[in-house]
Amino acid sequence: MTELMQRILPTVQKPARYTGGEWGEIKKDLKDVRVRVAFCFPDTYEIGMSNLGMRILYGVMNGMDGVWCERVFAPWGDMEQAMRDNSLPLWALESQTPVREFDMIAFTIGYEMAYSNILNMLNLAGVPLRSKDRQGLKNIVFAGGVCAFNPEPLADFIDFFSLGEGEDITVEILQLYDRAKAEGWSKDAFLHEAAKIPGVYVPSFYRHEYNADGTLAAIVPLEGVPQTVTKRIIEDLDNAYFPTKMIVPSTEIVHDRANLEVFRGCIRGCRFCQAGFIYRPVRAKSPDTLCSQGKALCESTGYEEMSLASLSTSDHPQVEEMLDKIIDYTQEEHINLSLPSLRVDNFSAELLEKVSRVRKSGLTFAPEAGTQRLRDVINKGVTEEEILRTSRIAFQGGYTSVKLYFMLGLPFESMEDVLGITALGQRVVDLYSSLPTKPKGRGVNVSISVATFVPKPFTPFQWAAQNTYDQIVEKQHALTHSVTTRKISLAWHEVRTSVLEGVIARGDRRLGKAIYNAWKLGCKFDSWEEFFDFDKWQQAIAAAGLTMEFYASRERTEDEILPWDHIDVGVSKAFLRREYERASRAEVTPNCREKCAGCGANMLIGGGACIG
């Protein structure tokens, strides 16, 4: 660490964010390293170190001969100012080497509101922002993660995207780069060879053409690259790489515990949920694998809390056996076990008994909509009877606190559906009051959290118009006035953030200019209240000759070319359109375990059964 850094760190918040040196970090001798990767997370250390995908790929890359991957996080405002004042470039934690000295710069992107931070981090590093301005093999910038499935808003800045699960494709990319560097290839030659790797998308090899009304007219592949790029998946999770030795942060992070991935994908077909479609098909780890990995994680890190990570933990095909094995271990070793992502419709007294053995805090469920009609529209597959039955089981088991998640602004939503949110909360309160077994002297608390719906690519609602700011605010006011008891508490997210998220999520390549404009105006950390400036984003989008309404609050036609149509996640566009039409009729599609709906994801595993 330089003397300058030593002088700066005591003057900023949480200096441990910037020092490295944690238990479990990986250092290598530079004489054994041929390829150096700066692995960037475009948010704070506390958020990035909680990201399981980043931990997995950190281990994958550092497990390769001749490759050293180091971590880089976005500096908070006070640290950034100190860096700029002192001409101190962005550095990697393991070696404190400036990012501009690395061969490859990788970003993992899980949230559209982090895009301005990507530009800010490159600028802090002294690396040219636009791909066309970076010559040679030095500082090749690539990106992956959920947001990479619509790569176009970042097409000007990222050299190539890695689509899908990264355990295998990352190894192939780095092996190719190692060869290119050794043989002295040009950047163009490397990108042409990289484009041949299944799952790699190079934006500069595709031309986007537009109609007079601003919609896409064509996506034209150039120079022999594929018409479509198909995501990569890992078929066998039991034998896939999983880091049983992880870095233990030296400062508190958001999820400061051992995170154990249970399975990937989801059997449900919730029509609003991007993750539920892009992570198909379902692949689960066996109970034995989960127990051994969880045990190894806790022993190597010293963590006294473990969390099971998935889109729907209780949908694991062997959930009872899995929980029995893990709970036996955690109880014996006095390790707390967190079980998020439980489903209302498969929550049983037996499952409650298992949950109660590991925690006695409030339970969280996600009905998502307040009326049965709207739950059918979104294909939630949950009835009011199941919600009340689950609440009854929880209350009879001694719970007095329930948290319910909902969304506002869903497609085909009416004001009756909106008011149904608090009406359902009231029925849960009334149920508690009616129970003769309720604890004496203890009241019930029903917390209702309401998010604004954002249409996302590769969902049946990718064609839907997003509610405007004024429409959402009107619905929020109606909800507030419908609450008649202090036993119900209401909370919601900042609406303007969701509006901007809706703009970027379905943006095309022209939006890159707006992102650049926003960064120039000082936008960064847009998911944080302390920094988010909606007015600057409006100004940036207008200066690019674009409108928010075109991207967010406009319904797409069935025949419109979408900016991500050249990306294949395994779920067909025809299936998604059928689901959108079924939503308009409030028709429910059975979950994958009940009946295959023909989404197409099974073709990614050879056309066989795709239920893990």
Q: Kind and range of the H or E element at 598? A: none
Query: Can you tell me the mean pLDDT for 448-463?
Result: 97
For the chain, percent of residues with pLDDT exceeding 90 = 80
The structure tokens 């890695």 sit at 162
308, containing H or E segment: strand 305-309
Lowest mean pLDDT segment, chosen from 190-199, 437-446, 458-467 = 437-446
**Lowest-confidence range among 29-33, 296-300, 347-351, 569-573?**
347-351
pTM score: 0.94
Q: Which of 240, 147, 97 is nearest to 501 (CA)?
A: 147
Average pLDDT for 312-323: 86
CA 87, chain centre distance (Å): 33
Q: For residue 207, give the H/E element and its range.
A: strand 206-210
Q: What is the largest CA-CA distance in the chain?
A: 78
Helix and strand counts by DSSP (H, E) for the chain: 20, 19
Cα distance between the two ends of the chain? 47
For the beta sheet containing 140-144, the strands, ordered from the edge strand earlier in sequence to the opposite edge, are 67-73, 35-41, 104-108, 140-144, 160-162, 200-201
Looking at residue 88, what is its pLDDT? 95
Cα gap 424→431, rounded to integer Å? 11
What is the pLDDT averaged over residues 374-395?
91
How buried is residue 610: exposed, middle or buried, by Cβ count under 10 Å (0-12/13-18/19+)?
A: buried
Of 508, 409, 420, 518, nearest to 117 (Cα)?
518
Residue 611 near residue 317, CB atoms below 8 Å: yes
| H or E element that contains 263 | strand 263-264
DSSP designation for 489: E
Instruction: Find where tokens 């899908």 sit.
Output: 164
Query: For the chain, what percent of residues have pLDDT higher than 70?
Result: 95
Query: How far is Cα 548 from Cα 250, in angstroms, rounded to an integer?
Result: 41
Answer whether residue 255 shows pLDDT above 80: yes
Sequence-ordered list of residues with C-beta below 8 angstroms from that of 446, at least 6 positions apart, any chain = 402, 403, 404, 425, 428, 429, 487, 488, 489
Identify any residues that bridge with 405 across adjacent strands, giving them in sequence order.
449
Angle between helices 469-482 and 495-505 (to 10 degrees): 140
The enclosing H or E element of 191 equals: helix 187-194
